[in-house]
Structure formats: structure tokens, C-alpha cells
């Protein structure tokens, strides 16, 4: 089905909406989710530096909408399915997806730890260097408790993701007894 070119143009301005209008629901949902997730993390962790990624996501979504509009509806559905399969297997990097997908929790964990530490530094530690009066410090720390909790939670998530695949040495060496099989 041919889509209205004016509506394609209008929907292209919202990251992911253009893809959804063209029937590529999975790709549109991923793009929209990434866009809003970057905004949410930047706001929750008080990290305005993450907003640098927003124009990149926006331009990708905008131009991908027009590139996808050139194809027939059946081809777009196939492209959407291939996009989803690639995402499930580690991303867009061909032949490297399996290597990345095995290490994804470690990369995410390390990223969460670094993001949490940076947030902790920016919202709590660095501003304390400029406050020298004890009552101001107490008020400042009490005022920053929500940011502190979120930063610590992100660090905890990172530590969990890093340790998720590890098993204790004893568990690796343990061999369950099987009757009739003696070594």
C-alpha cells in the first residue's frame, strides 16, 4: 500500500513514528524507545552530556523513514523482521553479533557502573567541594538523596550485570555423582 508522502514527512520528525507509519513497528518501537530512554537517563541521573546522542538518533530515524518509504510494503515487513532478528542476536554488526551478544551484559554492566559513578560525582561530590559550611553540606546532601539513590542503583545494576555470568570456583569443579559412572 502506498503511503501518503506528506504524512511520511510529518511522522519522520518524531523518532520511530515514521517507521511505525510505514508498518515497521518493531524498528519504530526500538528507535522511539532508545530516544526516550536517553532522555530519561539524562534527566534521572542529571547527565546533560547524554543529550549529545539525541540528534544522532533523530537524524537516523528521519532519514531512515525516507529510505524505507522507497520500498514496497512487503519489503518493509521483511526489513523489519530482519532488523528484529539482528537486534535479538546482538545488534547491527554482521558476523560480530554473536561475539557481542555474549559480552553484552558485561558491557552494559561496565557502562552502568561508569554512568552511575559519573552521576554520583556530578550531582553530589563535585558540588560539595564548593560548600564549606556544615549546615549547607547537610542540606545539600539531603536535597540530593534521590539522585544518590538512582546513581547507587545504576552502579548496583552494573555490578550485577558484570557478575551475572560468573559462577563460584567450587560450582565449576563440582561433578554430580552418577551411579555406574566412576572416574
Tens of pLDDT, residue by residue over 32-67, are 999 999 998 888 777 787 888 999 999 999 999 999
Question: For residue 82, is pLDDT > 60?
Answer: yes
Residues 74 and 119 in one domain: no
Residues 100 and 58 in one domain: no
Q: Which residues of 63-101 are buried (b: 16+ CB within 10 A; e: fewer)?
A: ebbeebbeeeeeebbebbeebbeeeeebeeeeeebeeee
- Lowest average pLDDT, out of 40-54, 112-126, 129-143, goes to 129-143
Residues 72 and 101 in one domain: no
On whether the CB atoms of residues 159 and 113 are closer than 8 A, the answer is yes
The pLDDT, as a whole number, for residue 175 is 65
For the chain, the domain total comes to 2
On whether the CB atoms of residues 119 and 47 are closer than 8 A, the answer is yes
Structural domain that includes position 150? 95-171
Range 149-174 average pLDDT: 74
Residues 57 and 139 in one domain: no
More confident residue, 133 or 66: 66
Task: Report how far apart the first and last C-alpha atoms of the chain are (Å, whole number).
Answer: 67
**99 located within any domain:** yes
Closest CA to 45 of 159, 105, 124: 124
**21 located within any domain:** yes
Beta-sheet strands, E only, within 25-76? none
The pLDDT, as a whole number, for residue 25 is 93
Q: How confident is the model at residue 121 (pLDDT cuts 50, 70, 90)?
A: confident
**132 located within any domain:** yes
On whether the CB atoms of residues 68 and 19 are closer than 8 A, the answer is yes
Question: For residue 15, is pLDDT > 80?
Answer: yes
Residues 119 and 59 in one domain: no
**112 located within any domain:** yes
**177 located within any domain:** no
On whether the CB atoms of residues 26 and 83 are closer than 8 A, the answer is yes
Residues 126 and 57 in one domain: no
Residues 41 and 117 in one domain: no
Residues 105 and 79 in one domain: no
What percent of the chain shows pLDDT beyond 90? 31
Domain termination residue (choose one: 35, 68, 88): 88
The pLDDT, as a whole number, for residue 1 is 60
Residues 68 and 147 in one domain: no
Cα atoms in the 13 Å half-sphere on the side-chain side of 76: 24
**182 located within any domain:** no
The pLDDT, as a whole number, for residue 110 is 83
Question: For residue 178, is pLDDT > 80?
Answer: no
**46 located within any domain:** yes
Residues 36 and 57 in one domain: yes
Domain termination residue (choose one: 37, 55, 88): 88
More confident residue, 90 or 117: 117
**179 located within any domain:** no
The pLDDT, as a whole number, for residue 50 is 82
Domain termination residue (choose one: 48, 65, 88): 88
Range 159-164 average pLDDT: 82
Amino acid at each position: 500500500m502506498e503511503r501518503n508522502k506528506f504524512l511520511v514527512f510529518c511522522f519522520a520528525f518524531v523518532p520511530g513514528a515514521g517507521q511505525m507509519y510505514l508498518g515497521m513497528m518493531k524498528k519504530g518501537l526500538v528507535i522511539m524507545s532508545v530516544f526516550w530512554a536517553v532522555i530519561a537517563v539524562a534527566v534521572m541521573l542529571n547527565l546533560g552530556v547524554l543529550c549529545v546522542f539525541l540528534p544522532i538518533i533523530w537524524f537516523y530515524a528521519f532519514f531512515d523513514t525516507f529510505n524505507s518509504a522507497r520500498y514496497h510494503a512487503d519489503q518493509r515487513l521483511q526489513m523489519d523482521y530482519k532488523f528484529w532478528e539482528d537486534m535479538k542476536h546482538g545488534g547491527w554488526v554482521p558476523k560480530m553479533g554473536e561475539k557481542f551478544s555474549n559480552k553484552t551484559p558485561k558491557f552494559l554492566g561496565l557502562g552502568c557502573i561508569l554512568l552511575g559513578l559519573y552521576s554520583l560525582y556530578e550531582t553530589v561530590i563535585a558540588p560539595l567541594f564548593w560548600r564549606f559550611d556544615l549546615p549547607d553540606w547537610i542540606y545539600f546532601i539531603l536535597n540530593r538523596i534521590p539522585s544518590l539513590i538512582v546513581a547507587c542503583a545504576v552502579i548496583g545494576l552494573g555490578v550485577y550485570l558484570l557478575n551475572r555470568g560468573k559462577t563460584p570456583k567450587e560450582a565449576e569443579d563440582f561433578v554430580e555423582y552418577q551411579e555406574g559412572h566412576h572416574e
